[in-house]
Amino acid sequence: MKIAVLGAGMVGRTMAIDLASAFDVTSFDVSEESIQLLKERNPSIQVRQANLKDYNKYPKLLEEFDIVVTAVPGFMGFETLKTVINCGKDVADISFFPEDVLQLDKLAREKNVTVITDVGVAPGMSNLILGRYNEEMVVTNFECYVGGLPKIRKKPFEYKAPFSPVDVIEEYTRPARLKENGFMVTKAALSEREYLDFEEVGTLEAFNTDGLRSLLFTMPNIPNMKEKTLRYPVHVEFVIALKQAGFFDEKEIEIDGAKISPLKFCSKILFNDWRLGTEERLHSKVGIFELSLQIFFQSNKRMRRARNRQARPCFLAPCIQLPERGPRDDVRLGRERRDVHAVANR
């Protein structure tokens, strides 16, 4: 099987290397540096330099491949996915784009292709976790906490991005959609901050982000759902200061005759500070990456809400999404009503 991976950044590069252990993989990226780094790490992977914004070239570019994996930045993710579908290729997508992916459902059916989106840790693995427990119990409350945390804390931000810093900023600015009492509500990103304690890691700060994605539409039976991002305390204060000062604005400003958007300027600066080095590691104590593939119940000793010291069960279980269920009488079936509380690493 021949697989094309579009994008050779931190995430795309990792996926290409994993897939190359069993498949014939070719990686595409506009950056010569990125594809050469990938080639150095795994010489068996074919690399091609290509401008992935040139969508007219996709039919010829992807003609020889059986499956496509899209790992481009969020701002070009929707159009990239749409073009791949138009090429009639089955595709798995990791891009964190703001558009509603369900708009592409009709096109995918017309082209008779399978499209799996948001196949990361969260969203992605968190969706599979919820899908599993949605089949085993009546879930009334789903909370997902996600955080990519460096083992070595370096001020001022104490953060390293396991994916594109541009998409991290998007996460900090995009309004967060949640479910409350059966209704979808929208709240500001970075809002409703709270603290949680983890053994061997310490206190972390959680805040609203728009990570529920398709779960808002595919799990209508769950009345309460939210996703929050985890960071070391104080990190969010710096982010809010940058946001309020206009550093995330997209409108261009002129400096000595040159025009540049504050967002592009800020992203360039933060990229150097937030970029996860090849030898650096994320904290596995607050994530899925290095946990064994089994159901794991978080106990009071492992995690608790700092504000009231009351813990809830936490499931860390990579698992398979079971077929969608239909309406039924859950009381008659005697199914236990439970909260599902997931922690992941992003």
The CATH number of whichever domain residue 31 belongs to comes to 3.40.50.720
Residue whose token pair is 């008659």 = 332
Q: What is the mean pLDDT of the chain?
A: 81
The answer to whether residue 310 is domain-embedded is yes
The answer to whether residue 264 is domain-embedded is no
The answer to whether residue 269 is domain-embedded is no
The answer to whether residue 250 is domain-embedded is no
Six-digit token string for 29: 């990226």
Q: Closest Cα to residue 311, out of 213, 161, 196, 229? A: 196
Report pLDDT for 59.
97
- Are residue 145 and residue 60 in the same domain, yes or no? no
What is the C-alpha to C-alpha distance for residues 217 and 221, in angstroms, rounded to an integer?
Answer: 10
- Are residue 166 and residue 231 in the same domain, yes or no? yes
Which whole number is the average pLDDT over 138-142? 92
- Is residue 305 within 8 A of residue 196, CB to CB? The reply is yes
- Are residue 67 and residue 86 in the same domain, yes or no? yes
What is the C-alpha to C-alpha distance for residues 200 and 54, in angstroms, rounded to an integer?
Answer: 47
- 3-state SS of the chain is CEEEEECCCHHHHHHHHHHCCCCEEEEEECCHHHHHHHHHHCCCCEEEECCCCCHHHHHHHCCCCCEEEECCCHHHHHHHHHHHHHCCCEEEECCCCCCCHHHHHHHHHHHCCCEECCCECCCEHHHHHHHHHHHHCEEEEEEEEECCCECCCCCCCCCCECCCHHHHHHHHHCCEEEEECCEEEEECCCCCCEEEEECCCEEEEEEECCCCCCHHHHCCCCCEEEEEEEECCCHHHHHHHHHHCCCCCCCCEEECCEEECHHHHHHHHHHHHHECCCCCCECHHHCCCCCCCCCCECCCCCEEECCCCCCCCCECCCCCCCCCCCCCCHHHHCCCEEEEEEEECC
The range of the structural domain enclosing residue 33 comes to 2-116
Q: Is the pLDDT of residue 177 over 90?
A: yes
- Are residue 111 and residue 218 in the same domain, yes or no? no
- Are residue 76 and residue 181 in the same domain, yes or no? no
Using 50, 70 and 90 to split pLDDT, how confident is the model at 195? very high
Cα-Cα end-to-end distance for the chain = 30
Report pLDDT for 148.
79
Q: Is the pLDDT of residue 113 over 90?
A: yes
The answer to whether residue 257 is domain-embedded is no
Using 50, 70 and 90 to split pLDDT, how confident is the model at 283? low
The model's pTM is 0.75
What is the C-alpha to C-alpha distance for residues 119 and 127, in angstroms, rounded to an integer?
Answer: 9
